[in-house]
Structure 1
């Protein structure tokens, strides 16, 4: 196990991880224009977003075990190539149905960039070093929700919504170059000997019976579900209901990413001082309190945009502590199948978010309350799962809070 975190590798892995979210965040300001251009209703346009989320989630189930069997680089090459080709198709699409299908294929390519970087982190580090690397990766990764909506607005202004997909295609090509020149294989041939399709199926069985692992996955999943609900509803709430311009919306959206980024940088330091488990407990609980307060405000008839933006800014910061830390803890005991464990984590969290987005979508009316109900429900469910999963778990992670990493291979399955 390496003793230090490579900032160059973190930058590359963060940029790779951001390619999929970049393809989401950048085209959010274009949703109304896409509907007008292709003659599609709001629900159909939103379906292109849901299709991407679903394929990213399902695709990770494939890439995880494949990366354990073939190494980390080959799946990245394949995924980035699929993503680039599908992006070209999206840019040329002439109907909403075609766009939805191509977005699904694009998501299958993006899935590789979601699962493999987490596995690389686990290949190299555990404990505080893993938490620090994961938080730094999140720092780079979170550039997407800050810059992508603004970049999307700029591209749309000078071309059209189709220009967005040409830009993300170029990002995928850049990703291919970065993998080729800057990423070394972290899953050696010896480690791959015990990996096979039957072994992957067995590994998924082991993970699905590990209630502690699943609890941690869904704690992070609940945090992401609230964000997905905000992601789908905020363009209509902030632009149509509150009257923000697309640029103002992009700036408001970026505030949440800034909060997430800033807080995520403290995960390693806070974990080393207080322990990773207490950090999750406190942050998840505080997030639940903040979102319950926001829900109470709207139930009592509140309407001020500043309250929505301000309280969700705080909640986003708390998510910056919860999501990377629960990922580290979930993978901590599954080093021998890190790719598979990372894949299942990503799939379950993505599907949880997509399901929440669809459920809340049925009740959406362009006003804040349905969106806030969905966001608060995710946070409060996350609080319950946190205490059920981690109520007495501090001793279990003593090695991860003592300032030393565990065996990078982890326990054999």
Structure 2
């Protein structure tokens, strides 16, 4: 695929993928305000975030096989339409329980944009070419944590937190138009003939028995869980504990996205030079080390915001090498069921993240330590799974018969 086509496809897929995360990142600065407006405690407000993640996870289990059976575009139409309608409901919600329920529906819609673009990447490429396209997709996708909190702060300042949901609803409608006008179908009719409900169930069985696939998915899921813990806890820690304004919070939050974006663009180059697996090993180890260092700092009484931002910046950069690479490796041997494999991967990532947020949220008190402990636990678990998965792969290799 020519370089221009790579960039065009990455832009299309990245923007589709970013619509759901925009609905997360754009309203993060408003979480304390939502709690005050709806008279809801911290845990209940965080549940609106957790419900969104659970829905994204569950929804991908459906969209993946359906996209294998009917093509990639029809499920995108349905998902983006549902997302837009639920966004309108969120904008009109007057109780926290209603908001949580509508956020769940919104997440079900967003799941289409999370599962299907990865399957499209696998439809088109494997190996380092897939890593290159995936990293470019991540470049566009990762703009969300930079721009969305800033855009959210501006929207909230001008029109209040409800306007955030009107904005993301309009973004979903724009996504629908873009899918219709610019995205070509990558799942051919001949390929769809091989897919059915029965084949989808068999495909899930194959994937759940593939220890190497599950190990790779686990590496990325645990790493993302640490990020999700930061995502859920950072508004309360940075705004309430450290006293940042919503705009200052948005800038601080964006620093991690810059690290992730910058590092992810080196995946293809480093993969070609050193191999994808060695790169994952080094990056996972480094990310775990810096998160452990951050945890030690807070356990021994440290409480400086610049230290939190700096160490998390470095850990996020290494995570930017891990996540797109393990996604490519996990899908590489499952091309005929790429939609299903992508869906299961996305589901596990979101559900692990939701569980991590729920566990850490139970201990949340507005101080940094519970959040930092959750971030470190995710990174260290990812490191442990990396060791088990990639070492197991080495052991399973047998010398060729002579």
Give 1:3 shift. Answer: 6.8
Match of 1:319 in 2: 319
Give 1:245 shift. Answer: 1.0
Number of residues paired by the alignment? 396
Alignment of 1:51-62 (within 5 A): 51-62=51-62
Alignment of 1:60-209 (within 5 A): 60-209=60-209
Return closer, same or farther for 1:177/1:396 CA change in 2, 3 Å cut-off: farther
The DSSP-based 3-state class of the residue aligned with 1:6 is helix
Tell whether 2:216 aligns with 1:216. yes
Match of 2:272 in 1: 272
RMSD: 1.3
CA–CA distance in 2 between the matches of 1:313 and 1:254? 10
CA–CA distance in 1 between the matches of 2:88 and 2:336? 37
Give 1:94 shift. Answer: 1.6
Give 1:393 shift. Answer: 3.6
CA–CA distance in 1 between the matches of 2:288 and 2:42? 31
Summarize deviations over 1:379-399 as a string: whole Å, max 9, x none: 1111110011012647999xx
Match of 2:400 in 1: none
CA–CA distance in 1 between the matches of 2:354 and 2:382? 16
Alignment of 1:364-375 (within 5 A): 364-375=364-375
CA–CA distance in 2 between the matches of 1:248 and 1:16? 27
Tell whether 2:337 aligns with 1:328. no
Match of 1:339 in 2: 339
CA–CA distance in 2 between the matches of 1:93 and 1:217? 36
Return closer, same or farther for 1:286/1:206 CA change in 2, 3 Å cut-off: same
Match of 1:49 in 2: 49
Question: Which piece of structure 1 moves more, 292-301 or 71-80?
Answer: 292-301
Match of 1:283 in 2: 283
Summarize deviations over 1:19-75 as a string: whole Å, max 9, x none: 000000000111122122222222111111111000000000000000000000000
Q: TM-score, structure 1 length as denominator?
A: 0.94
Summarize deviations over 1:334-391 as a string: whole Å, max 9, x none: 0000000000000001100110110011111111111111111111111110011012
CA–CA distance in 2 between the matches of 1:197 and 1:360? 37
Conserved? CA contact 2:84–2:168, under 8 Å? yes
Conserved? CA contact 2:291–2:311, under 8 Å? yes
Tell whether 2:24 aligns with 1:24. yes
Summarize deviations over 1:308-350 as a string: whole Å, max 9, x none: 1000000100010000000000000000000000000000011
Conserved? CA contact 1:277–1:393, under 8 Å? no
Conserved? CA contact 2:32–2:236, under 8 Å? no
CA–CA distance in 2 between the matches of 1:62 and 1:236? 34
Match of 1:263 in 2: 263
Return closer, same or farther for 1:336/1:396 CA change in 2, 3 Å cut-off: farther
Conserved? CA contact 1:220–1:327, under 8 Å? yes
Conserved? CA contact 1:277–1:394, under 8 Å? no
CA–CA distance in 1 between the matches of 2:173 and 2:2? 32
Conserved? CA contact 1:9–1:182, under 8 Å? no
Tell whether 2:278 aligns with 1:295. no
Summarize deviations over 1:172-197 as a string: whole Å, max 9, x none: 01100110111000000000111000
CA–CA distance in 2 between the matches of 1:102 and 1:229? 22
The DSSP-based 3-state class of the residue aligned with 2:306 is helix
The DSSP-based 3-state class of the residue aligned with 2:364 is coil
Match of 1:387 in 2: 387
Unaligned runs of 5+ in 1: 398-413
Question: Which piece of structure 1 moves more, 21-30 or 38-47?
Answer: 38-47
Match of 1:231 in 2: 231
